[in-house]
Amino acid sequence: FELGTAALQLAVQAALQPGDEVLVPSLTYVASFQAISAAGAIPVACEVREADALLDLADAAQRITPRTRALMPVHYASYSGDLDAVHEFAQRHRLRVIADAAHAFGCTHRGRKIGSFGDVSCFSFDGIKNITCGEGGAVVSADAELIAKVRDLRMLGVERDTEKRYQRQRSWEFEVAEQGWRYH
User: For residue 104, what pLDDT is reported?
Assistant: 78
Percent of the chain clearing pLDDT 90 (strictly above): 49
pLDDT digits 0-9 by tens, 4-52: 789 999 999 999 999 999 999 998 889 899 999 999 999 999 999 999 8
Catalytic residues: 129
User: For residue 2, what pLDDT is reported?
Assistant: 43
**Span 66-78, average pLDDT:** 92
Residue 183 confidence class, pLDDT cut points 50, 70, 90: confident
Residue 184 has pLDDT above 80, yes or no: no
Cα–Cα distances in angstroms (integers) from residue 30 to residues 13, 24, 36, 74, in the given order: 18, 11, 10, 12
**Span 109-132, average pLDDT:** 78
d(CA 152, CA 141): 15
d(CA 159, CA 151): 8
Which residues are 43's β-sheet partners? Answer: 22
**Span 114-123, average pLDDT:** 87
Return the half-sphere exposure (C-beta side, CA atoms, 13 A cut-off) of residue 21.
14
Residue 168 has pLDDT above 80, yes or no: no
